[in-house]
Structure 1
Amino acid sequence: MMTNANLAALSAAGVSVWLDDLSRQLLTSGELAARMSALSVVGVTTNPAIFQSALSDSSAYESALTAAVSADRDVDAVVRELTTADVRDACDVLADTYASTDGVDGRVSLEVDPRLADKTEETVSQAVELRAAVDRPNVMIKIPATAAGLPAITEVIGKGIDVNVTLIFSVDQYRKVAEAYIDGLERAAEAGHDLSTIHSVASVFVSRLDTEVDSRLSGDSELRGQAGLANARLCQEVYDEVFDTSGRFGALADRGARPQRLLWASTGVKDPAYPDTLYVTGLVTHGTVNTMPFATMEAFADHGVLEGDTVRGSAAASHATLEALRAEGVDLDEVFTLLEKQGVDKFVAAWDDLLGTVTARIDEIPSSS
């Protein structure tokens, strides 16, 4: 199967192409492996909404569901068994990529229960449990960048567990995430872990910011559709500062530590007035990840273009964009707070829907007792 030239070029520009989707059907049909070959996919991300969709719409889980129920009819245990099984199998599909990239790519992310977003110790405990349940070196545990999530990130990294930090909306929040990662690396070093084996990504959400900011602008404002890219690009400025080896990170880098890569998330365009590849073409710079819904990946494969590095070197213009938004009356701090709450609430709602879906299907299976 021929590799798509557009996505191959994106990969060559230093952007790792990850797929924001996973299901049992993708795995058993061979479609995930096909996308890796044809579309340069080198990683997979999941979230509660993705699993809710997969389990509610697919008959591919019938045998796995029956097997899980025969072992334990508790809905949380069944959901854990089904989701960790999918992630484990996806890790196996991506194992060669993981090996060939020295652990940088070939990654599959699995999120802690979103109902734990404000509970630090419970988040840490579940991160440890999920890592053990998947039992693959290329799994990443997703932890939200909430106030309770930040110390959990530090503790989990300190245990040598790889983390995908999710639900990052502001530059200030990203800085705290990067510092939490460095704090974790220092703990890991004290505990005797090999720092070169610890990896992390920081997932900055893009399109959701535009959706909320645009709703606060006039219909003819030239600033519509500008906030998401500007905000993400300024996170890159912080990354280049925090992970400069002349600073605090240098001592860790000398011991083999790796920087926490920026991952562009929520890259599916929600406003049809904007180009459907906006958050791919506009966020190209080396050493980053773009996790895309399949529709966005297909769009870039079909008509995506590269315009060079569209991130580094744009800090002044990006600062000016955010200042202009404030001048037009957009309270960005309020927006960031709202988006974090909405993000957690959406994942909790999806998780509740997932539990409801699985509960209904469990009830259809005769009890073995």
Structure 2
Amino acid sequence: MTDRLKALADAGVSIWLDDLSRERIESGNLADLVREKSVVGVTTNPTIFAAAIADGERYDEQVRTLVADGHGVDRVVFELTTQDVRNACDILAPVADSTGQDGRVSIEVEPTLANDTAGTIASAQALWAAVDKSNVLIKIPATKEGLPAITAAISQGISVNVTLIFSTQRYREVMDAYLSGLEAARDNGLDLGRIQSVASFFVSRVDTEIDKRLDAIGSAEATELKGKAAVANARLAYAAYEEVLASDRWKQLSDAGAHAQRPLWASTGVKNPDYPDTLYVADLVVADTVNTMPEKTLEAFADHGEVVGDQVTGKGPEAQAVFDRLTAVGVDLDDVFLALEAEGVDKFKTSWTELLETVEAQMEKASA
């Protein structure tokens, strides 16, 4: 276990790997990362699965069997991905047992349902039943249509990773959806202690979008703000989270055994080579949060990342000052977040198409 990653974990940050493949599972690599690199969770998405299936012979036998049984591409994708998640859940189960909150593995609902509440609920139910592991999290997007699906899933005892959160306003709506789900679950007589949730707040894409707009503005004041928006946005989100934790509504649920819906910093790989490659890890250190990293970012932090204490608590006013300056130079923040959500949903759907095409190619090979 590297000292730098251990320091991050000791600061209360749960390190989750943003990657999964059958190769990682069967070779022992995932277990090694848990043992040696402080990894205590895994997140997945269709792009990750597409890359794993395209490059991995370990899927071939299952594909051949499913094709021989007459299954179509949607069912083959469902079977391949849920098997990987199920097996990863087994590897992470000891972590879940020992921590009570980590050891989680996430799998997304079908992305084409991002604007379909009923379809999202049905997809979440199907994934939850198929994986059938208490430490799985079902990823539901934080679209307007996704919000009632979050409440419905939680009310049924389904643990949820809410994804594609870009703005503090939407994050507040996500937290409200979670609390509403917990209240319904309590009224349904469910054990709240068995329900887990994280809220995935996207980071790097905010700088990518706002930096582009700052470049277009071109003033010295605008240029000076580049690379500051994403961290400020996350810090404002954390301040909103603290408000919810201090509310009477949350305290009643907590007293009934509910777990807090931890903030998860997502999209933490740095896109701009001019910025430190550990920026969205080092600058967002705060206890009882999750940082899900691609392996490149994980290795970068293990090599040269620095933990210098809590970088988030109490920084809400400073973060708001950054946003005020962004508005003053002409950045339309409401438009930024609308654009990021629309782009996020589009990427979500495109990655699903990529996964279907990848699996179709493997099915054709299996039929040849």
Report the TM-score when normalising by structure 2: 0.97
The one-letter code matched in structure 2 to 1:132 is A
Q: Deviations over 1:164-198 (max 9, x none)?
A: 00000000000000000000000000100011111
Are 1:150 and 2:109 an aligned pair? no
Structure 1 residue 88: deviation in Å? 0.3
CA distance in 2, matches of 1:323, 1:72: 58
Q: Is the 8 A contact 2:60 2:366 kept in 1?
A: no
**How much has 1:210 moved relative to structure 2?**
0.2
SS state at 1:118 partner: coil
Say if 1:73 and 1:362, in contact at 8 Å, map to a contact too: no
**Equivalent in the alignment of 1:262:** 263
Counterparts of 2:187 and 2:238, CA distance in 1 = 29
CA distance in 1, matches of 2:340, 2:277: 22
2:203 counterpart letter in structure 1: V
Pair 1:347 & 2:344 matched:
no
Provide the C-alpha distance between the structure 2 equivalents of 1:189 and 1:365, rounded to a whole number of angstroms.
48
Query: Who is 1:358 aligned against?
Result: 359
Distance (whole Å) between structure 1 residues aligned to residue 43 and residue 148 of structure 2 = 22
CA contact (8 A) 2:278 2:297 kept: yes
The residue type paired with residue 147 of structure 2 is: L
Aligned counterpart for 2:66 among listed residues 65, 68, 77: 68
For 1:130, the equivalent position in structure 2 comes to: 127
Match of 2:311 in 1: 310
Q: Which of 231, 235, 238 is matched with 2:237 structurally? A: 235
Shift of 1:207: 0.2
2:206 corresponds to which of 206, 209, 212: 209
Worse-superposed segment, 264-273 or 305-314: 305-314
Report the counterpart of residue 322 of structure 1 in structure 2: 323
Write out per-residue CA displacement over residues 269-313 of structure 1, whole angstroms, 9 at most, x where no aligned residue.
000000000000000000100000000000000000012100001
- Provide the residue aligned with 1:105 in structure 2: 102
Residue 96 (structure 1) shift: 0.4
The answer on whether the counterparts of 1:72 and 1:78 sit within 8 Å (CA) in structure 2 is no
- CA distance in 2 between counterparts of 1:67 and 1:223 reads 55
Deviation at 1:64, TM superposition (A): 1.9
- Post-superposition CA distance 1:178-223 (Å, at most 9, x none): 0000000000001000111111000000000000000011365111
Q: What amino acid does structure 1 have at the position aligned with 2:43?
A: T
1:114 aligns with 2:116: no
Distance in 1 between the 2:241 and 2:366 partners? Answer: 50
Q: Does the CA-based 8 Å contact 1:15-1:285 persist in structure 2?
A: yes
Shifted more, 348-357 versus 88-97: the winner is 348-357
Question: What's the counterpart of residue 19 of structure 1?
Answer: 17
- Distance in 1 (CA, whole Å) between partners of 2:15 and 2:86 is 20
Work out the CA distance in 2 between the residues paired with 1:49 and 1:121: 24
Q: What's 2:85 paired with?
A: 87
Deviations 1:3-25 (A, max 9, x none): 11101110010000000000011
Separation of aligned partners in 2, 1:287 and 1:71: 46
Report the counterpart of residue 176 of structure 2 in structure 1: 179
Greater helix fraction, Structure 1 or Structure 2: 2
Q: What is the aligned residue count?
A: 363
Q: What is the Cα deviation at residue 243 of structure 1?
A: 1.6
User: Which residue of the other structure, out of 45, 48, 60, is the alignment partner of 2:46?
Assistant: 48
For the residues of structure 2 that align with 1:196 and 1:342, how far apart are their CA atoms?
35
8 Å Cα contact 2:86-2:133 kept in structure 1: yes
Alpha carbons 2:64, 2:367 under 8 Å: kept:
no
Is the contact made by 2:63 and 2:366 (CA closer than 8 Å) also made in structure 1? no
Q: CA deviation at 1:72?
A: 3.4
How far is 1:59 from its partner?
Answer: 2.0
Residue 253 of structure 1 is matched in structure 2 by 254
Q: Distance in 2 between matches of 1:81 and 1:123?
A: 18
Q: Secondary structure at the match of 1:43?
A: strand
Q: Mark the runs of 5 or more structure 2 residues left unpaired by the alignment.
A: none
Percent of pairs with identical residues: 55
In the alignment, which residue of structure 1 is the partner of 2:156? 159
In structure 2, distance between residues paired with 1:202 and 1:364:
39
Asked if 1 retains the 8 angstrom alpha-carbon contact of 2:18 and 2:43, the reply is: yes
Task: Check the 8 A contact 1:33/1:93 in 2, yes or no.
Answer: yes
Contact in 2 for aligned 1:203/1:262 (Cα 8 Å): yes
SS of residue in 2 equivalent to 1:16: strand
Partners in 2 of 1:263 and 1:72 — Cα distance? 39
Supply the distance in 2 between the matched residues of 1:201 and 1:134 (Cα, whole angstroms): 18
Look up the SS of the partner of 2:200 in the other structure: strand
Runs of 4+ in 1 over 4 A off after TM superposition: none
1:52 Cα deviation after fit: 1.4
- Structure 1: distance between partners of 2:162 and 2:18: 15
Aligned AA (2:322): T
Report the counterpart of residue 274 of structure 2 in structure 1.
273
